[in-house]
Structure 1
Amino acid sequence: MTTSKPLTGIELIDCAKANAKQGIANATQLSGYGNDVDKFMEELQAACHKIGVNIDSLSDLITEQQQLKQIPGLEIAPDSESSL
């Protein structure tokens, strides 16, 4: 859902983090900054700095748990219980 007024502070951080996996253009749009990626990143970095977190890019907000969810696994199992 796109907001009419650009988000700031913790709301901006929350929205950016929730949409970081979909890319910076999507996160910028959903945070109310339209296509102004530079302004979005400037405000996001300022908001993060205010709470004591330094980020260089949007991908810094993606947690290890979020990254693990997107890595497909390989299941290895016997063909049947009798071939254990």
Structure 2
Amino acid sequence: MASPKPLHGTELVDCARANAKQGIETAAYQCGYGEDLNKFAQELRQACEEMNLQVKELSELITEQDLILQLGTGEIIAPDTPSEL
């Protein structure tokens, strides 16, 4: 669900990261910036700087963990039953 108002700070970075794989247009819309890509990019850059993140492109917000989860190559290790903890 898209934000009804433009996000800022950590909320903006979190939302942008969650939508980075879908591209800048989708990320801007979901973060409340509609079609104003320039404002979205400017605010995201500022938010990243405040968090000491060195990000030049939206795709840099996608972490290795995100990619592993997307590929589904992780192996789940768990006991067969709750009593086998």
Q: TM-score range by the shorter chain?
A: 0.7 to 0.9
How many residues align? The count is 73
Q: Read off the aligned partner of 1:35 and give its amino acid letter.
A: E
Q: What corresponds to 1:27 in structure 2?
A: 27
**TM-score, length-normalised on structure 1?**
0.79
| Residue 2 of structure 1, CA deviation | 1.2
Which one-letter code corresponds to 1:58 in the other structure? L
Shift of 1:4: 1.7
Q: Distance in 2 between matches of 1:72 and 1:14?
A: 22
Shift of 1:3: 1.4
TM-score (norm: length of structure 2): 0.78
* CA drift at 1:71: 4.3
Q: Distance in 2 between matches of 1:38 and 1:57?
A: 13
| Structure 2: tracts of 5 or more residues without a match | 74-85
Q: How does 1:13-52 map to 2 (within 5 A)?
A: 13-52=13-52
Percent same amino acid among aligned pairs? Answer: 49
Cα 1:18–1:72 shift into 2, 3 Å:
closer
Q: Deviations over 1:24-75 (max 9, x none)?
A: 11000000000111110110010010011121110010001222344487xx
Runs of 4+ that moved beyond 4 A: none
Name 1:12's counterpart in structure 2: 12
* Structure 1 spans left out of the alignment, 5+ residues: 74-84
